[in-house]
Amino acid sequence: GAAAQAAPPVSGRAPRGAAQRAILAALEHGSHTVTELGVVTAMSGQNIRENLRRLLRSGTVTRAKREGKAAYALAARASR
């Protein structure tokens, strides 16, 4: 029936946006490297890098340096 067709396919993937939400939640606690984000989100480095690229483009996340390593942090929010 229509209800069966409306159900999303089972693909083993998280819902759209879940990866970015997980990354943003981790970054609320401070800057992280890709490796650290992998530990706290249980995502692959490739998945993290792809999502970070989107977040960087949107201005939500910024690049940072921490102990000489590339890290990422939430972009400063301008007061409205």
Confidence at residue 66, expressed as pLDDT on a 0 to 100 scale: 87
- pLDDT value at residue 29: 94
Cβ atoms of 46 and 37 closer than 8 Å: no
Instruction: Give the Å distances, CA to CA, from 36 to 20, 74, 78, 80.
Output: 15, 15, 27, 32
Provide the residue-wise pLDDT of the chain in tens; the chain has 80 residues: 555 555 555 556 667 799 999 999 999 999 999 999 999 999 999 999 999 999 999 999 999 998 899 999 999 864 33
* Residue-level pLDDT at 78: 45
Determine the pLDDT at residue 79. 38
pTM of the model: 0.76
Domains, the chain, in order of start with CATH, read: 16-74 (1.10.10.10)
